[in-house]
Structure 1
Amino acid sequence: MLSCPFPISDYPYITMAHGGGGSLSKKLIDELISPVFSNPLLDQRNDGASFITPGDSLAFSTDSHVVSPIFFPGGDIGHLAICGTVNDIAMCGAQPSYLSVGFILEEGFPTNDLWKVLQSMKRTADDAKVQIVTGDTKVVEKGKGDGIYINTSGVGVIKCDPPPAPTRVQAGDVVILSGDIGRHGIAIMAAREGLELETTLKSDCALLNEAVMSLIDAGIELHCLRDLTRGGLASGVIEIMDTASLSMEIDESTVPISKSVRSVCEILGLDPFYTANEGRFIAIVPATKQDKALAALRSHPLGNDARIIGKVSSGDPGLVTVKTSIGTHRILTMLSGEQLPRIC
């Protein structure tokens, strides 16, 4: 474990002066943040990063992270911030390359906690094979924030032609889910509210780019990809069907849900179909490619429980129904509010 080069004993908490653009700002960036992410592009110390991608089509995404608590079973806000943007780029059928990071720190935030977050981000970026090449840090007065917020933006090179998009979905396509749903949202809620579960439920927060690349490398025609974050599986498929002007039926019996998640949802009256994930996605592919797509996805550790959960049809535009275990059907609708706030 690297030791922190910043004099935490002198500044155990973030102060307003750390965001003032003066010597303490420079010390925070030069001695704490920049050494963690050091690489040739970042070390140029420009306001932005310049790089060459001759002849490539690029995907670009940005995301902000306000999760509470910032450290939770299975991850932390730093790990989540890198995964969030890497996964968004991967859903465009692209291999992520470069990220920017913006920190908003609250006066009084423990410097040691910032160091832990930075180390987590570095490990996750290295695992994703991406470089953090530019960024920004601001400090707000105590009481005007909640410790730390992080924004990450990124670019990646598109690896499939044409890239996946909701408008490419066709009637007859099948829907493949990469794994069990609901663990991130329930893990965050349990940590936040101090719920005592029989077993520690860990977030599924994970990098999805390699799992997506396994599909692309197998030559699968990807009509649409979607990571199932806020709003869960239900919101993701409804949004896709609404854009595609098609309908979908999901077989509830095929959707994997862990016993712990199912139990908590039943007790609290939550629907796991709407509960957030940070390491799960769906791939919508032609039915003729379903076996090949399943085999490719199951070859990756994050896809070893991948299953076909539904099929697209030309019915009512935007309609998503679920065939229940007792043979009835229910309609999935968008949430009117947010089931669990501050989960990403």
Structure 2
Amino acid sequence: MSQPFNQARSPNPSSPSSRRSKLRDREITLAHGSGGKAMRDLIQDIFIDTFDNPALNSLEDQARFQLADLMQLGDRLAFTTDSYVIDPLFFPGGDIGSLAINGTVNDLAVSGATPLYLTCSVILEEGLPVDTLRQVVHSMKRAAIAAGVQIVTGDTKVVPRGATDQLFINTAGIGVIRSDVSPSAQQLQPGDVVLVNGTLGNHGATILLARGELALSTSIESDCQPLNGLVDAIVNICPEVRAMRDATRGGLATVLNEFATSSQVGIRIHAANLPVQQEVNGVCELLGLDPLYLANEGKLVVVVPRSQADRVLAAMQSHPAGHQSRIIGEVIAAPAEIVLLRTTFGTERVVDMLVGDQLPRIC
């Protein structure tokens, strides 16, 4: 059984459960995973006090919700999970904490769901500075507030030095899908239009530079951000949106290939329309990388009927997460299951699935 961190706050301020012991340790020890007082103090001080919300109201191993409340938002549940092992933990534009929240929120949002509740499970390496953990958890809280979700339960494990790399996080999330929205990668039709909400490859380039292996100084930052507000803007204008997906590992190229394969169609994108920051392009040219395959953590690929494309683009550009949105291509009947890039020279080349990994541990 997991050690929950949805432990109750007593309504009586003089009760034993309300007199919390503040964590005095400077580093994580194996005792913090033992299930005893050290673990209780860690969970109370780091997690409970930070993630405090109405759902943290019992000493159970699970959070509980009224089905009637969920059903008011839609007719289906969306449920997702992801693990985060990024190196380094902190990088320009974010950290492992904000990444974990935004990544899970976005996986829910692209299904057309309203993200509601998240879990947080952490695997801590013995010797991890407590201040590092505290900084990550407070970042998670800020990201959750920005996305309008609550972190309602979780688990803590501690492993010996060398058994992991500082800190790994697993998050799961649930949301409710509104009844008039059903995006799917299997719904693309010839003539549909493909859009993205901004520059590509920023996250992958940021992580590469943050590792300090290259003596380069740039202003590139990760695009780590929640996309649920942008998705709301899209589906309010166009409930019949064909498909949506966040372009994380494998980048834009992977998402488009998955769409083409699932719908048995082709997709043509135009190099002149692809939004790539000049510095990201420079890093890619220097290292022989392709920004189409670099990871993103705040980029949405959306496919809509052509008749709705201009309205959707305007709605996306009016949202803070989509002011750089562009139409980048269209769905074609043939060649099926192929993604084509029309170059600035007027020629075309195939954009294949990523073989191998351009950059490991990017999320």
Q: Structure 2 length normalisation: TM-score?
A: 0.91
Displacement of 1:315 after TM fit?
A: 1.2
Aligned to 1:83: 102
Give me the whole-angstrom Cα distance separating, in 1, the residues matched to 2:253 and 2:352.
8
Aligned partner (choices 47, 51, 65) of residue 65 of structure 2: 51
Equivalent position of 1:16 in the other structure:
30
User: The residue matched to 2:133 in structure 1 has which SS?
Assistant: helix
**Residue 6 of structure 1: how far off its partner (Å):** 7.0
- Percent identity of the aligned residues? 47
Residue 328 of structure 1: how far off its partner (Å): 1.2
SS of 2:173 mapped into structure 1: strand
Counterpart selection for 2:274 from 252, 255, 262: 255
1:220-266 deviation per Cα after TM superposition (whole angstroms, max 9, x unaligned): 42110010000000011101111111110111110010010000000
The match for 1:306 is 325
Alpha-carbon distance in 2 for matches of 1:208, 1:162: 16
Kindly indicate whether the alpha-carbon contact (under 8 Å) linking 2:238 and 2:308 is maintained by their aligned counterparts in 1: no
Structure 2 Cα separation of the partners of residues 150 and 43 of structure 1: 23
Aligned partner of 1:324 in structure 2 is: 343
The one-letter amino acid paired with 2:48 is S
Structure 1 consecutive aligned stretches of length 4 or more whose deviation exceeds 4 Å: 5-8
* Partner Cα distance (1:200, 1:160) in 2: 42
Matches within 5 A, 1:215-230: 215-230=234-249
Query: How many angstroms does 1:163 deviate by?
Result: 1.4
- The DSSP-based 3-state class of the residue aligned with 1:96 is strand
Indicate the RMSD between aligned Cα atoms, in angstroms.
1.3
Could you say which residue in structure 1 is the equivalent of 2:40? 26
Deviates more, 1:115-124 or 1:18-27: 18-27
Counterpart residue identity of residue 362, structure 2:
I
**1:220–1:292 Cα contact (<8 Å) kept:** no
After TM superposition, list the pairs within 5 Å mapping 1:1-344 onto structure 2. 7=22, 10-54=24-68, 55=71, 56-159=75-178, 161-344=180-363
**Residue 334 of structure 1 aligns to which amino acid in structure 2?**
M
- Say if 1:159 and 1:216, in contact at 8 Å, map to a contact too: no
Q: Matched residue of 1:293: which SS?
A: helix
Partner Cα distance (1:306, 1:185) in 2: 19
Task: State the AA in 2 paired with 1:99.
Answer: L
Residues 11 and 53 of structure 1: CA distance in aligned 2, closer, same or farther (over 3 Å): same
Question: Does the residue aligned with 1:168 lie in a helix, a strand or coil?
Answer: coil
Q: Distance in 2 between matches of 1:184 and 1:209?
A: 19
Q: What code does the residue aligned with 1:329 have?
A: E
Structure 2 runs not aligned, ≥5 long: 1-19
Matches of 1:200 and 1:292 in 2, distance apart? 32
8 Å CA contact 1:169, 1:223 repeated in 2: yes
Tell me by how many angstroms 1:302 deviates: 1.4
Q: Is the 8 A contact 1:220 1:293 kept in 2?
A: no
CA 1:25–1:265: 2 relative to 1, 3 Å: same
Residue 200 of structure 1: how far off its partner (Å): 2.5
The residue type equivalent to 1:24 in the other structure is A
Tell me whether 142-151 or 314-323 shows the greater mean CA deviation: 314-323
Unaligned residue ranges in structure 1 (runs of 5+): none
